[in-house]
Amino acid sequence: MRYILLGTGGPRLSQRRRGTAHVVLFDDEGLMIDCGPGTTYRLHEAGVAADSIRYLFLTHHHYDHIADYGHFALTRWDHTSQPSPLDVFGPPNTARITDLLFGTDGVYHGDILARTEHPMSQGIFAIRGGKLPRPMPEVWAHDVAQGLVFETARWRMLAGPARHAEPFLVCYSYRLETPERTVVFSGDCGDYAPLAAFARGADTLIHMCTWPDDVLERYGMRDYAGGPGAAGQAAAAAGVRKLVLTHAHAPAWDTPEGMAEAVAQAARHFGGEIVFAQDLAEI
């Protein structure tokens, strides 16, 4: 099992960080959590073929978590001669967003028709080893509730609580359980005791770390956007071994000194290993 932090930023444009996306690779299949801006290029940089990702789990529908959904889904379909279906799981409206992108009246319907019906596109498909007629992309979207979302013989994924942008967006955390280890991804979440309970007993907690704690307090955002203090408290309450700080929004987190300060703030609450996430790092 390999867990790669593809994108560790937020909405703020950064030369160092792309939008939120994490990928987990097994021997015969891969899964991804969120699909923020730049995800598909980060996959390529990581040496991961887009069509090796079979499952996508969305925490919520802020654009910095789903903006690359169309690019990713079409790339994994278009650049292989034998595309496999993509199963997508997320909060309510995931299926609607998927239909608006790829359905018969969707944003990409004309593109899909051109790539399946035009002689030029059929020739390109044949060059890649494909045999006509070219299949349409299969993106199977599932609106899910908290609880067990999906499981295989190798792993299972559970959706859990998060507090971020309700009531406008339903937001989830995710817990990936494998025989090797358990990793919990907070999604976007502030100071929220149910998240710590959901993460209890996990090996690693990957937690949102947007701005310094004093900034979050000053603007009344601590309950909705996590900082190093909330991350450290959640990790301590959950009893995890390792805390990974991600979703960097503050410009200060772009410097080694700023990241060290964030780790120090989290360490006031949590005595285990703490790292500040970087794009393309493995944990």
Rg (CA), the chain: 19
Rounded Cα distance, 12 and 248, in Å? 9
Residues 6 or more apart from 16 whose CB is under 8 A from it? 9, 254, 278, 279
pLDDT at 83 (0 to 100): 81
Question: Which residues are 31's β-sheet partners?
Answer: 24, 55
* Domains of the chain by start residue, with CATH: 2-282 (3.60.15.10)
pLDDT in tens, 143-177: 999 999 999 999 999 999 999 999 999 999 999 99
Conformational region of residue 7, where left means phi above 0, alpha means psi within -120 to 50, and beta covers everything else: beta
Residue 269 has pLDDT above 90, yes or no: yes
Q: How many CB atoms lie within 10 A of CB 145?
A: 11
Residue 80 has pLDDT above 90, yes or no: no
Tokens of 142: 């599932």
Rounded Cα distance, 103 and 96, in Å? 9
pLDDT at 81 (0 to 100): 81
> What is the pTM assigned to this prediction?
0.96
Percent share of the chain, pLDDT over 90 = 93
Average pLDDT score over residue span 40-44? 97
